[in-house]
Amino acid sequence: MADDDDDASVPVTVAVPKRGFFARLFGAPPVPPSDAFVTDPVQEILALPRGPARLDAFEKKLQQLAVGSAEHKKVALGFHRELTLLVRDAGVDLGLYESRVTACARALIEAGEDERAGTLFAKIGRRHQAAELFVKAGAIDALEEAHAELSFAEGGPKFDARLSFERFEALFLVGLRDDALLALRQAVKLWDHPVYAEVLQGFLGRLPPPRRLTLQAGDDVVRVFGRFPLVLGRGEDSAVRIDSPLVSRAHVQIERATNDALMIKDMVSSGGTKVCGVVIHGAGLLPAAGHIDLAGVVVDVERSSERLLLRPQARPRQVTLAPFGEVLDDDVVGFRLTLSDDRVRVGIDARVRLNGEVLRRETLLLAGDRLQVGGRTFSVVGSS
């Protein structure tokens, strides 16, 4: 089927329609409409609000133009484009505008655009007229596509996908993000619509790495690592990342032993490792309090029954917290975090506001979220 966007015979400048809220939230920003001033009848009509007023203006303009003229064809094609966009971007059922759709289809037939007229008749359920026009235009593929669209209108996977996507929107807006993600995945599974796929990709792109989270409030940075072993070194995935040429990418590793003790292991580093001033060869016990010296870079160690805290002396405002269980409730952040299913969530707390709203339920955290508590605002950073 021909695509209006590729029709060089219609030199019409059309403002790019606004994309949906969730497409803008998770996907790339919409392209701004052109500011160019275009003096043609179609552009004048497009200045009207989208909806019945604009459709009526197209129909009225067609009545004023001579059938067969270039201007008549231009307006007919612009009318068809408007109806197509209503279906694609606004999810409008064209059956609500049957008389206007019929007027546009007739104008398209007069302009020799039988296939486009057939698509409109198909969308309002006039199968016989649509089939005749597709056969006349030799557009068998378009006929099959029209049957698929009718199947969607009457039910089936595409209809179920749309319902799942609407469920995703509603769940996300009320903060049920886990359920929203399930609904979004279901929508994409049922129908690989580009908008659904884009929103899913954007959602997944905002999920922090498994059991990890980075929070920032000004110069304060808190990294949460909910999985042992922890690596300290120059590597990007290090729990404590040290920017020194003397430190190896994976300098030391901290592991939990079977008796719940913490063991530190030098990973055959080039600069060597000391724990509380004692050089370690291979593995050694990590004390509950003290410091680790990695080739001259010192990291303070503080352990409680619930978590391990690591703080580089050179950057004391950059802290790493490693909880031993699935709950982290520490004064360093001031609110409760839970780590389960490889995801990090913030717990219910009347003192905490999430993106300016009172936190009423445990909520999955995403990059870009803002958590306000005790006069501080933490932002969830996109990567840990």
Q: What is the DSSP string of 276-328?
A: TTEE-SSEEEPPSEEEEEETTEEEEEEE-SSEEEEEETTSTTEEEEEESSSEE
Q: Are residues 232 and 277 in the same domain?
A: yes
What pLDDT was estimated at residue 270? 79
Same domain, yes or no, for 16 and 142? yes
Same domain, 273 and 340: no
Residue 236 exposed, middle or buried by CB count within 10 Å (0-12, 13-18, 19+):
exposed
Judge if 168 and 237 occupy the same domain.
Answer: no
Clarify whether residues 50 and 121 are in a common domain. Answer: yes
pLDDT in the model for residue 364 = 96
Do 345 and 373 sit in the same domain of this protein? yes
286 and 214 housed in the same domain: no
Average pLDDT, the chain: 83
How far apart CA 246 and CA 300 sit, in angstroms, is 18
Residue-wise pLDDT tens digits, 121-143: 877 777 767 777 767 777 655 55
Q: Is the pLDDT of residue 379 over 90?
A: yes
Confidence category of residue 2, pLDDT binned at 50, 70, 90: very low
Single residue among 278, 305, 324 that ends a domain in this structure: 324
pLDDT at 155: 63
Task: Determine how many CB atoms are found less than 10 A away from the CB of residue 332.
Answer: 14
Residue 261 CA to residue 278 CA, distance in Å, equals: 18
State the virtual CA torsion across 152, 157, 159, 163 in degrees, nearest 10: -170
Same domain for 176 and 289, yes or no, is no
Q: What is the pLDDT of residues 259-311, one digit of tens each?
A: 789 999 998 877 889 999 999 888 899 999 999 999 999 999 999 999 999 99
pLDDT given for residue 7 in this prediction: 45
User: Which of the listed residues 304, 324, 344 is the one where a domain comes to its end?
Assistant: 324
The whole-number pLDDT of residue 33 equals 46
Considering the domain architecture, whether residues 182 and 142 belong to the same structural domain is answered as: no
12 and 101 belong to one structural domain:
yes
Domain boundary among 309, 324, 339: 324
What's the token pair of residue 294? 């990695």
User: 362 and 215 in one domain?
Assistant: yes
Kindly state whether residues 214 and 361 are assigned to the same domain. Answer: yes
Kindly indicate the confidence band of residue 148, based on its pLDDT and cuts at 50, 70 and 90: low
- The domain total for the chain is 4
Domain range spanning residue 215?
Answer: 209-219+327-384
Please report where in the chains the tokens 């037939």 appear, as a residue: 109
The CATH number covering residue 379 comes to 2.60.200.20
Confidence at 37, pLDDT banded by 50, 70, 90: very low
374 CB-near residues (< 8 Å, 6+ apart): 334, 351
Do residues 1 and 141 lie in contact, with contact meaning Cβ atoms separated by under 8 Å?
yes
Does the structure show a pLDDT above 80 at 255?
yes
Over residues 190-232, the pLDDT tens digits come to: 988 888 999 999 999 999 999 999 999 999 999 999 999 999 9
Lowest-pLDDT choice from 38-47, 57-66, 290-299: 38-47
Residue 258 tokens read as 């079977």
